[in-house]
Amino acid sequence: MQTVVKFDHVTKLYGRQVALTDVSFEVPSGVVFALLGENGAGKTTAIRVLLGLADADDGAVRTLGLDSRKQSLEIRRRVGYVPERPTLYEWMTVEEIGWFAAGFHEATYFDTYRERVRDFSLPERKKIAALSKGMRAKVVLALALANDPELLILDEPTSGLDPLVRRDFLESMVDRAAAGKTVLLSSHQIGAVERVADWVGILHRGRVRLVTRLDQLKASVREITVTLEDDSATPPDVPGEILRKRRRARQWQLFVAGVDEMTELVPAGQGVVDAAVRTPSLEEIFIAYVGDEGGQSESENPAHEVVL
Q: What is the mean pLDDT of residues 66-71?
A: 94
- Give the right CATH number for 3-205 from 3.40.50.300, 1.10.287.130, 1.25.50.10, 3.40.630.10: 3.40.50.300
The domain locations on the chain are 3-205, 217-307
CA distances in angstroms from 302 to 140, 243, 299, listed in the order given? 41, 7, 6
Amino acid sitting at position 164: L
Amino acid sitting at position 82: V
Percent of the chain with pLDDT over 90: 49
> Is the Cβ–Cβ distance between 74 and 65 less than 8 Å?
no
**Per-residue pLDDT tens over the stretch 142-166:** 999 898 899 999 987 766 566 777 7
pTM reported for the whole predicted model: 0.84
Paired sense of beta strands 151-155 and 182-187, if any = parallel
pLDDT of residue 286: 93
Range of 78-87, 214-223, 270-279, 288-297 with top mean pLDDT? 214-223
What's the chain's average pLDDT? 85
**Per-residue pLDDT tens over the stretch 13-27:** 999 899 999 999 999
Task: Read off φ and ψ for residue 236, nearest 5 degrees.
Answer: -70, 155
At residue 302, does pLDDT exceed 70? Answer: no
pLDDT of residue 117: 93
d(CA 199, CA 213): 4
CA distances in angstroms from 198 to 34, 104, 191, 277, listed in the order given? 8, 32, 14, 24
d(CA 199, CA 185): 10
Q: What is the mean pLDDT of residues 172-179?
A: 85
